[in-house]
């Protein structure tokens, strides 16, 4: 189940407002969750969308790693072991917490960010990444909407996104302020065609490579 932590309170609040009033909605992304708010609360809305970063011409290196599902955690651990700052995206809160625990057990300083955390803890965990007290942040999409850290070297998509706009949002967390960055998406062979379609919509032409735990390529991609 996708993290819907921000949707439910917003829906409850809007349902308490007077009917017939003018409503305006602003969002960093226009994904399925936001679309559900539009469908329920806005009448014949006028949509204005600001173009995002040009990923194709930016300083971001896009890689898709074809993996066996059973190798996922070992591969993430190897990728996250570099000295730079790494952001890992996971689909669910439970997987986010489990990955953070696994990386901590492996000696990699890690914190989690998801919808079950209160705002104070979200702010504290993000500050630990910003200050360099931890190297890795594992986050769900919803919790990661407010992340603005200029020196994230590597974005790992442990779970591929469902929409191309989510891909662009995730990728935009690295390669900021003119710095170079890398986005690595982990995909099993059965999902390659779907990933091809998503990347085509995002106008991204990544490098596809098949990897196993221990491969030298994973060490090369680890955040420097």
At 219 the pLDDT is 95
Q: Is residue 48 in a domain?
A: no
Sign of CA dihedral 204, 215, 90, 162: positive
d(CA 215, CA 218): 6
Distance of CA 195 to the CA centre of its chain: 15
DSSP codes joined into one string, 31-81 = -HHHHHHHHHH-SSPPP-------GGGSSEEEEEEE--GGGHHHHHHHHTT
Q: Residues 28, 68: one domain?
A: no
Q: Is residue 15 in a domain?
A: yes
Q: Residues 71, 32: one domain?
A: no
Q: Containing domain of residue 92, as a range? A: 57-221
Longest dimension (CA), the chain: 60
Structural domain count, the chain: 2
Q: Residues 111, 152: one domain?
A: yes
pTM recorded for the entire structure: 0.77
At 62-87, the pLDDT tens digits run 999 999 999 999 999 999 999 999 99
Alpha-carbon distances of 179 from 50, 82, 138, 195, rounded to whole Å: 23, 17, 21, 26
Q: Is residue 193 in a domain?
A: yes
Token pair of 194 as six digits = 């779907």
Token pair of 37 as six digits = 């708010």
Indicate the length of the chain as a whole number.
224
Q: Residues 25, 123: one domain?
A: no
Q: Is residue 198 in a domain?
A: yes
Q: Which residues of the chain fall below pLDDT 50? A: 1-3, 51-54, 56-57
Q: Residues 95, 123: one domain?
A: yes
Q: Residues 168, 83: one domain?
A: yes
Q: Residues 12, 87: one domain?
A: no
Q: Residues 21, 100: one domain?
A: no
Give backbone dihedrals phi and psi of 207, rounded to 5 degrees, phi first: -95, 130
At 178-216, the pLDDT tens digits run 788 999 999 998 889 999 999 999 999 999 999 999 999
Q: Is residue 157 in a domain?
A: yes
CATH of the domain at 79: 3.40.50.300
* HSE-CB of 28 using CA atoms within 13 angstroms: 17
At 206 the pLDDT is 93
């Amino acid at each position: 189940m996708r993290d819907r932590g921000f949707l439910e309170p917003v829906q409850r609040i809007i349902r308490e407002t007077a009917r017939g009033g003018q409503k305006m909605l602003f969002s960093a992304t226009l994904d399925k969750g936001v679309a559900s708010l539009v469908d329920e609360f806005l009448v014949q809305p006028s949509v204005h969308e600001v173009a995002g970063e040009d990923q194709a011409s930016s300083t971001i290196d896009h890689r898709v790693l074809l993996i066996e599902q059973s190798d996922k955690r070992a591969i993430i651990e190897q990728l996250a072991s570099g000295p730079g700052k790494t952001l890992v995206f996971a689909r669910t809160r439970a997987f986010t917490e489990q990955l953070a625990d696994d990386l901590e057990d492996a000696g990699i300083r890690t914190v989690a960010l998801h919808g079950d955390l209160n705002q104070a803890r979200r702010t504290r965990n993000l500050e630990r990444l910003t200050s360099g007290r931890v190297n890795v942040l594992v986050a769900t999409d919803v919790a990661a909407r407010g992340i603005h850290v200029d020196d994230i070297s590597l974005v790992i998509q442990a779970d591929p996104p469902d929409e191309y706009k989510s891909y662009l949002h995730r990728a935009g967390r690295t390669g900021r302020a003119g710095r170079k960055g890398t986005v690595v998406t982990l995909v099993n062979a059965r999902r390659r065609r779907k990933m091809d379609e998503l990347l085509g919509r995002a106008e991204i032409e990544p490098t596809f490579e098949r990897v196993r735990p221990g491969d030298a390529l994973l060490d090369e991609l680890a955040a420097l």
